[in-house]
Structure 1
Amino acid sequence: MDTAKDGIIAYSKQISLFFVLMLIPPLVACGIIYLDGPEIRLKALNNLQAISELKANQIRDWLAERRFNLEIIADDRDFVMHAEKMVVDGNEIDREIISERMNTLSNSRYYDGVLLVDNAGKVLMNSGRHSGSDGHHIAQWIKTALEGGQIVRSDLYPSVSGHIHITHVLPLASSKSQPPRVFLVLHTPVEHTLFDLIRQWPMPTLSAQSVLVRNDSDRTLLLNNISNHKTAFNLYFPHEKTKIPDDITILEDNVWTPSKEVMDDHNQSVLFASHSIADTTWHVVSRIDREEIMAPMDDLVRWISLLTFAAMGAMTLIGWLLWRQIQHNHHLKLNLLSRELRQEGEHKFRRLYETMLDAYVMTDMSGQLIDYNPAFQEILGYSDEELRAPAGIDLAEKKWPIIEDEVFTQQILPHGKSQVCEKEWIRKDGTRIPVEIRTFLLRDNNDQPEAMWSIVRNITERKRIEANLKLAKEQAEHANRAKTAFLTTMSHEIRTPMNGVLGMADLLLHTALSNQQRHYAEAIQRSGRILLRIINDILDFSKMQAGRLSLELLRFDLDEVIVDLNDMFMAQARRKKVDFHCALTDSVPIHLLGDFHRLKQILFNLIGNAIKFTENGSVDVVVEVMEEREIDTLLRFRVTDTGMGISPEFQQQLFQDFSQEDTSISRRFGGTGLGLAISRRLATMMDGELQVESTPGQGSSFWFTARFGKQRAGDRKAISMQPTRRKSISNSDFRGRRILLVEDNHLNQEVAAAMFEMFGFQVTVANNGQDAISIYRATPTPFDAIFLDCEMPVLNGFETTKQLRQWELEHTNRHTPIIALTAHVLQECRKECLEAGMDDFLQKPLNLTDLEPVLRCWIDPNDQSDQIAKTTASDALATHESQDRSPLPTPDRDHPRKDVNTDAAHSSPILDLSTLSCIQNLAQKGNPMLPHRMMDHFMTQTQKLLSDLELAIERQDSQGVSFAAHSLKSSSLSMGAVSLARLGHAMEENHSRFDIVANHFSQCHTTFAEASEALNRFLILPQESEYREGSG
């Protein structure tokens, strides 16, 4: 055995030495190729580059020659004049001259079609075989020629006949100053002219040739025919191809390479060179097979290699036979080892398969069991004998559906597997068990479906956990709803008695008191406000935790906020002998958009703390700009004090909920420890942050940033027209004015009534909403305003408001201000008040400071406009209706000089000057906002009435039409909009004739827009102009 082995080794060495010797000749041949090959290749590439450049220059000269010929035609003034005259008068002599010249051109070898067209693209004459445009847009070429005033050459394109053409558009104009009116369109065939230049090769060759290509989007397009094939405009290939097709080349990285060696589609090495053609998108590509270049050296290598490999073949055969025997023995050993490893792996897999918690089951295509693991038995509850019985278990049954027909056809069969799906199986004992199944398709050697392998997981525990989580989520949501309801109820229940405490204290302080009594009353008021502030902090904190706190977008002036804070804290600072200063830097914008209530809350907290913890020092408030953009600005508010300071350890927990440095602080100064935590969260909601810098014994500096929008110019005007400071209301300012107070709590009735009577009001009290409606309807003299509680027995404030508004709409056409008295502070309650039809709201407990601006806003002491406007509207309406329901006035009859028409094209007036004069007089006598309020009310009510009219017409509701049209007429007369009132009158008169009503209604929107524009021009704009002049 060892001898045989030694013999094999010796023989192998001899063969190896022979192979080494036989490799010497081909290596020598390869060396020759390696040394001389690059030089031959470089020379061939340079030749190709020169040929490409030659072809490119020939094509450029050919195009220049065509252009030169056309310029000669354009310079022929007689021909151009004949063409222009023919376009103008169609003279037959001119036509014959033109036709003769066109026939001469079309019969030349350079043109096979000539067209004469006008500047609109209309063909006037044609000559030659190719007389159409083959789908190309002659009009576009003419447009380009008109814009440039020069000859336009099209790109190469295939004609309908299959031939390749270039079209030239020659503008013919006898004068350079005038645009051409006629164009000569010449179709040039290129297959036997231009393409012949490309096909010609300067030397004999077997494989070399040139082609013309251009870029076409992300592909390269072949422009000429090659190798007697119709390849022009038929052969595309993408730029990113790594191989090239026969007879063509490509771009590399979308850039034309001057020369290169590449492989074609048949894996043949070719050399190519390209050259661009000036003033075109074309490239000339020249190529030649590397085989043709290297043919002489390839022959030498071929003969040497042939002899070498013939000898090597014989020796290789002998060596192979010997090596085969050696390998055979080796493979026998490997097969034996592989079988042992495979058996061991199968045994390990089987053990893993049987111990898996997930069930694995294999079925045939009909659903019959083939194999499964013990986990599958455990899920179903059957024994191994029952599962393997001849009858077996069909998993396609409804009890154990491994797959369904829809899943099999849509998922398993096309994709080889299914999505994870959940099913409910029935165990042997009848109990139901949820499972999760995913199935895979197994195919045989012929790729035909053979079996299915499924993974089944018992998800009973997961379902139990999910059910518990769902229950916990529902319980949490229920608890959150209960918390919100609790906050709402407590807000109302706590603030209602606080209204009595603070209201009575406020009233008491306005009476004659001794010093001791005033001290007691002020203590009651101060303690009540502290308690109210604590309640507010707790409610804000709870709303923040519930995620229900939101910011409002309001217009405000920052300087007014600073002035209010200065007024609020100046007295407190003086009592503690603390210098208090507020300052705005020059660059800070004043007119802002944002929630200034929350801004005041943060500043109130920081300034209050600073004064509270400062003795005989100073507190400074500075506002500066951190970032400014076109629509918003980021401001920084810094509150600096010289107080006791804060230790570094406590600064880490300063903004935590209910945190104070020690219990002595709470006992000495009071507070909940929530103010800074709430302030930081509010600053974050304003797209900012709140930080502190402090040194114990030297003072602290709290600063926060907040982002606010900038008001537009119109917003600033509207705000600037309102006085920022008003004098206090005296008890005679509202003498004779009437208030309806709707409140179920007798203490609150007493407090509110006393406050109103201090201002001179006559107060009528109703205990609930139903009583208020009855009093309102029965009172002949209208109330100036209604203040009502939202939460009342019998009929609450929201339903009361809706019924009052409906009564006004149906009977009085008057809008009485309704102000809600609510103890709720949640934003949802405020929104509900406005949606119910209320105009404003006051938060309980009431105080004179908050009540005064609301009274000023809705009831002007000097304004009798409500009565006068109502009288004006009633008188005007009575005038028109007393004339036996005659038509409304026109310019040439009742009021020839008192009607305003803002558009001379209209034949009827738009506005009544007498009504406008009345409104302007009222505005000048102390109620400048009256036109604005009347205009806003008119716009809102008219839009609603037009919607009601449209709905009534659609439903064929004659009573609805009559009511809405009457209301439209009345409200329009109140504003002096006689044109719109005339349409309302006509629709009311013909309310049962829907064709006439529809005709009048079609004019309403246009008339309403005209009336609105005219009212704005005569009422609003002059008032704003006067205000600007007065303030300037």
Structure 2
Amino acid sequence: MRSAVAATAMNHQQARVSPPLRWLIMGAVGLVVAVGAYVWRYSGSPSAQTLGDLSELFAAVVAAVSCAGAAYKASEERRAWTMLALAATVWALGMAAYAWYGITRDHVYPFPSVADLGFIGYAVPAAVALFMFPQRRQNLSFWLRTGLDALVIALAILFVSWSTVLGPLYRAGGAVLTQITGLAYPIADVLILSLVLTLGMRRPAGQRMPWLLLGGGLVVLSVTDSIFVFLLSAGQTGLTGTPLVLGWMAAWFMVALAPWVPRSPAAAEVRRDVALAIELVPYVPVFFAALVSASVVLSDDRFLFTTGLILLFAVAWRQVMIVYENVTLTRDLEAKVAVRTAELAGLGAIVQASADAIVGRSADGVIRSWNPGAERLYGWSAEEIVGRHEEVLVPADRREEESAVLERVRWGEQVPRYDTERVRKDGSRVPVALTVSPIFHEDAVQAISAIGQDISERTAKDAALAAARNEALESSRLKSEFLATMSHEIRTPMNGVIGLTSLLLQTPLDETQRQYAEGVQGAGEALLAVINDILDFSKLEAGKVELELADFDLRGLVEEVASLFSLTAHGKRLELVAYCRPEVPALLVGDGGRIRQILLNLASNAVKFTATGEVAITVRSTPEDAGGVTIRFEVADTGIGISAAARTRLFESFSQADASTTRRYGGTGLGLAISRRLTEAMGGEIGVDSEVGVGSTFWFQATFPVAAQTQVAGQHLTPDLLEDVPVLVVDDNATNRLILQSQLTAWGMRPDVVEHPRSVVARMRDAVAAGHPYAIAVLDMCMPETDGLELARLISIDQTLNDTSLVMMTSTMQVDVAELKQAGVREWLTKPVRSSEFYDRLMRLMAPKAASAASAASLTGELAPRTVAAASLGRVLVVEDNALNQLVAEGVVSKLGYEVDIVANGAEALQAISTIYYSAVLMDCHMPVMDGFTATEEIRRGETNGDRVPIIAMTAAAMAEDRERCLAVGMDDYVSKPVNVTAIQDALTRWIRTQPAAAPMLTMGEQAQPNGDGSVIDMERQAVLRELGPDDGWGLLPAVVRAFSQDCPIILEAMRRAVETGDSPALGQSAHQLKGAASNIGAVSVAALCQQMEDASSTGAPLDSELLAQLEIELDRATRFLRDVLSAA
């Protein structure tokens, strides 16, 4: 009801002139008075003429702008105000030309001139505009009367104009063009005056004020023009510097105000005196024509005589039509009264027989009629209630509401049916459904009808239904609360079954026993998944789920979800992409785990139900006023699609789009229901857009606070390296191209995207020839016609393209590294590509180029070559490919007071050492592209001046042959992983300070061993990580845990494939990589098992799947333990 009150208040305000409009009117009047005073005092002077010309131009421009604004806001009158804006613009152009003549020719105005085209031509769009204003539907008689009125007015005005202006001009003769121009002015004025008076008579009462200003302005303009022509023909000059300018100004200001004056919200009844005045309007020009005829001799002017004769005939015809209309109206009125009386009698019988309560009220609420249905419903008889105010029926607590409804109806609004209450005669209340309608008489609300229906029975049924629903909901809540409480008791034995089955599979079993045990394990895991879904849903129904509020990395979360499905998608030959738009904040505050759960549900369904094509996970954001941001997640696929009927029940519990879906794909049908509940718990919404046979887009969105931004540890390279770098993207998938283009553009690069590889080499040659070669080319591995590897070979063998670095995107982790290197590929990434990893690879490629092209300042600021900053103990280069190990090594070395640079392989180390002086190098031995052994040999080969940089091996290998190999290639010392602060400090202090010529015996760091007490994680190692990095009590531990959790699934999957394919070298490499990460984080049992697998692979022993299963169990224990640690952080 508040909206109704507001609407009513707004309607009342429309009837008053708003303060801004009042100020505009006062300003216009003030300007006219000021200009009038000046031209009155200095009439005809050059300054007065200049002021007059510019004032007229200003007034016309104001009118054009005002009418254009009205056209923009209006609906029915848009075309009319547009044409009036055009008319004012045409006149203003003519005035501009006229003012130019005055300024440039010392106020000697040619006649005729270009200016006259504007002064006369405006009449055409103005006349069209007058016809375009909406008119009410009328009968033929009305339009005949209107045409006759127009004829009378036009003839009378033409008679007067010919007698005063047109006739003398015509008889004066002169140049043809001058005579035609002079005659055109009064003819245009006659046209405008006739239309204004004729059409103004027929305007509705509520629109007469705007029409009065508009028509009055055009009338003043026409009269002023006629006077101007008359005086000009009489030989007067300088007329725009006389008070005549006030006519033009006032005319256009009136036109400018016309669209904005308030209009009546409802048409009022026309008073009798006003109606009489309107009918007499055509006789006003006839009266002036009669006065003028007394001063002329009609027989001397044939045109004037003919015009006067036709005018008299038209006036007489008009009088005859008026008499005819009156007689017809009287006769028709008698017939209508009889018919109306019969209709009212019929309606009265219907009203009296109606079971509903029908009440008629006056506009101010006084009851005027009361049918028997109202007597039965309210208990009042007609004699008791008629004449009383309706408030007697309205409960006191509902009177404000009813008053608002009554006010809306008074203004002619049709109020929808609504439920309320009424008071009976005995004081009891009765629920009723009311339909309240206005009763109009000649466009004005004269009375109000109210039809009331007793809804007591329906209200009772609704109350009973609501009670039954509440009871059912309470029963469901109690059931869900019971299941949520029993969550632990149900899950514990299931975990026991699965765990014991896993242990059973590690014991010696024959083939049949193993088949049975694996069947039990698979069935148990499937049953646990179903139980988890049911229990999660029960918790949501019972309101037991509490959302956490913690900072989380949205990009990392989305990319992690995509990586979990990468192998499944690749197995189905699907393109899987994940992309957060650049504007999405890096850190948000919310329950990242629950968001991950929703995304997993949606992505799992997308991959499951898509046979061919692609699955795309995209995230975009919209800033909110309160400092938060609305995040929209979309998971789009090219799968089977969902029909409109199925979408209505898609998010319901235990429901899938089709019963056959459950049989074919499995599942409980709870995933989307859980997602909907979680989304609603976050205050968001979830939905789906789908087309059968085309695909589906599931989306959900919610608003999150933005977390305080923190700098990522180890990020030394500045984004300026990528600024304005040209890069070529070659990918046949449109979604991938769009995502890569958006990412690269957000990083300041200049990407060109190409769909077909056949034109790539030619395009790259053209770029080189134009002097803008591509610095980087990003190639997709799997493309039709020419695959990425073949394209890379073609690019590499072209000597002109040697400066372009190649990056390969592949959908599989099983890549032939040697083949990629041979093809000239510098970097390769596995889809779905993590944006952070992609960014790091690009920075890695550009850093050496920036260093060699400009100086080492891109990496080290203003550090001069072969020097060390005085503020630190020295600069140390860490060569390590594992992100977790990079993080730990950087924290340790920085803590010891050294400056640190990080590179990811031996090739990058060579490039860094060639431009920057390093006090020492910490070198990992096993890395892609170029390992530590080869890099050391290359470094030693390039040291010709005896300036030897200390190189300290840093690897997870602890075997004697590794130690001997380090010495053999020229390394100076050896530190084992996990990185020990004391060992690193001793090694750096020893080599940076003493720089001995001969290498001492290598010192072995402490190798991580399983704890004797059976603990999962070495807590001493945890304490070391807490001491490194930020001084917040946690140090590097949270970042290291997150990096470990992200890397382990990928490494473990590579180990599984190596065992399945019998690839011992690949298994040894993956075991070595996982051992280093586990040792750094203190997962001693995992590290020990990785050491066993690495040893077995190096000796060529058969690959042990049981050992791998044991490793998975230990890794799961370590990961869960670390996750608990991270949640505490």
Same fold (TM over 0.5): no
Give the TM-score, by structure 1 length.
0.34
Give the TM-score, by structure 2 length.
0.32
Instruction: Indicate the structure with greater strand content.
Output: 1
Based on CA coordinates, which of the two structures has the bigger radius of gyration? 1
